[in-house]
Amino acid sequence: MTIAAKAYAAHASDKPLAPYSFTRRSPGPGDVVIDIHYCGVCHSDLHIARNDLGRTRYPLVPGHEITGVVRAVGDSVSRFRPGDRVGVGCMVDSCRHCSECDAGLEQYCEAMVQTYGSPDAHAEQSGEAITQGGYSSVITVDQDFVLGIPDSLPLDAAAPLLCAGITTWSPLVEWGVGKGDKVAVIGLGGLGHMAVKLAAALGAEVTVISTSDRKKADALAMGASDFLISREREAMARAQGRFDLIINTVSAPTELGAHVNLLARDGTMVMLGLTTEAMPVMALPLLFRRRRIAGSLIGGISETQAMLDFCGQHDIVCDIETITPDQINDAYARMERSDVRYRFVIDMKALAA
Ligand code: NAP
Ligand code: ZN
């Protein structure tokens, strides 16, 4: 027995997403079946649907910012019950015994299974060669990769926390951001706006660096205290040496040089964008202030739960625009123009009806 799922899928890199029907596996002993209520639209979905990384297999159901309600659980599931409000992020499995898994860093496990686009170990039951994501009505996930959504958070505005939230939270925690630290966020999109809210809640002094002044009022309302426009050379020059940490969320190759100069001594720029082109960097500005450029990939399962609990305690959710599944192609077009305030969230309940 399998579970019927309705979805929207990419069928080729140059075609719009279209309705798609497939099956999910029925729950094994440790599995949780989730009726998906909402799924956020991450820029990574767009990169992968368009085959920007060159390894997409079609048909592909994107979506890794999933919230919903538990429909059924397997016999040995102890942590969840039908009716629970839950979430699923970018991963649905890992090897469970390597040093990365032991350290709670499942995202760096070589056998990590992404929510969509990874070979599906349950292919015989699901009927799909690859894992399929959250632009769908239902999903079956191992309980160890299911998160609890705090009661105070609405399922729609919490959905993007499962990727945009954890991807920005993880470097903020890893680099020990706290009261009075000077943090800059480059790009005010889905990730960027969460970086602003989370860094501000941790007590940092936050500056947004954006391509225009269009989002300035929003940035200040989210908790930023300053706003720089990247093409305004004088303002950028005045900010040289100012920041302890820069969270770079830009989804396209950009000129890194001017931004590296903004780092203080021992400051770090963390690259989050899934860019596939080289970005030249001069060594000298790195040497003279012992600056670093680093990268970071989503976050582990336990730190994702910690981030969700922190958001529950501090009433932090995403700024969302809710769409119906058939509006996904328009949403992608708007995302390409950086015209998102600040995350599209698809109401997946419309598909189940
Ligand atoms: P998004 O909502 O589209 O936001 C990206 C922002 O980058 C835009 O709002 C825009 O900000 C800025 N931007 C876009 N094109 C630009 C350009 N050519 N030059 C300068 N700035 C530009 O995207 P997102 O969902 O936040 O994702 C951002 C990136 O992170 C994507 O590449 C995504 O795939 C990646 N990602 C990585 C991880 C990870 O684990 N590392 C996880 C999730 C997503 P302004 O309008 O303010 O200029
Ligand atoms: Zn994502």
Nearest CA to ligand 1 atom 25: 43
**CA-based torsion, 327, 332, 334, 339: positive or negative:** positive
- Ligand 1 centre from 126 Cα, in Å? 33
CB of 274 closer than 6 A to ligand 1?
yes
Nearest CA to ligand 1 atom 21: 250
Nearest CA to ligand 1 atom 39: 297
Give the closest residue to 249 by CA, choosing from 187, 305, 340: 187
Round to whole Å and give the CA distance between 349 and 66: 12
Q: Where are the beta strands (DSSP E) in 174-223?
A: 182-186, 205-210
pLDDT (0 to 100) of residue 11: 98
pLDDT (0 to 100) of residue 350: 85
| Domains present along the chain, CATH in parentheses | 2-163+319-352 (3.90.180.10), 165-295 (3.40.50.720)
Instruction: Give, for 4, the enclosing helix (H) or strand (E).
Output: strand 2-9
Residues 6+ apart with CB under 8 A from 11: 17, 18, 20, 58, 59
pLDDT tens per residue, range 166-209: 999 999 999 999 999 999 999 999 999 999 999 999 999 999 99
Which residues are bridge partners to 208 per DSSP?
Answer: 185, 227
> What is the maximum alpha-carbon separation in the chain?
65
Instruction: Give, for 5, the enclosing helix (H) or strand (E).
Output: strand 2-9
Q: Ligand 1, from 112, 222, 250: best to mutate by most atoms within 8 Å of Cβ?
A: 250
- Taking a C-beta distance cutoff of 8 angstroms, is the pair 35, 49 a contact? no
Q: Please give the distance of CA 283 from its chain centroid, rounded to a whole number.
A: 31
Give the closest residue to 121 by CA, choosing from 104, 86, 145: 145
Which position has the token pair 């941790």? Answer: 202
Ligand 1 atom index nearest CA of 212: 48
Ligand 1 atom index nearest CA of 188: 47
CB of 167 closer than 6 A to ligand 1?
yes
Ligand 1 atom index nearest CA of 271: 41
Alpha helices in 245-300, H assignment, sequence order: 257-260, 284-288
Token pair for residue 176? 């020990």
pTM of the model: 0.98
Ligand 1 atom index nearest CA of 274: 32
CB of 195 closer than 6 A to ligand 1?
no
DSSP letter at 139? E
Round to whole Å and give the CA distance between 201 and 314: 8
CB of 211 closer than 6 A to ligand 1?
yes
Give the closest residue to 346 by CA, choosing from 333, 319, 330, 327: 327
Round to whole Å and give the CA distance between 271 and 248: 5
DSSP letter at 27? P
pLDDT (0 to 100) of residue 125: 87
pLDDT (0 to 100) of residue 281: 94
CB of 194 closer than 6 A to ligand 1?
no
pLDDT (0 to 100) of residue 352: 76
- Total Cβ atoms within 10 A of residue 190: 31
Give the closest residue to 73 by CA, choosing from 108, 115, 39, 26: 26
User: Which ligand minimizes its atom distance to the CA of 275?
Assistant: 1
Give me the phi and psi of 239, to 5 degrees please. -90, 5
pLDDT (0 to 100) of residue 218: 98
153 burial via Cβ count (<10 Å: 0-12, 13-18, 19+): buried
- Taking a C-beta distance cutoff of 8 angstroms, is the pair 245, 222 a contact? no
Q: Where are the beta strands (DSSP E) in 28-99?
A: 31-40, 66-73, 85-88, 91-93
| Positions of the chain with pLDDT lower than 50, given as ranges | none
Token pair for residue 28? 């094994």
Round to whole Å and give the CA distance between 64 and 206: 27
- Taking a C-beta distance cutoff of 8 angstroms, is the pair 183, 123 a contact? no
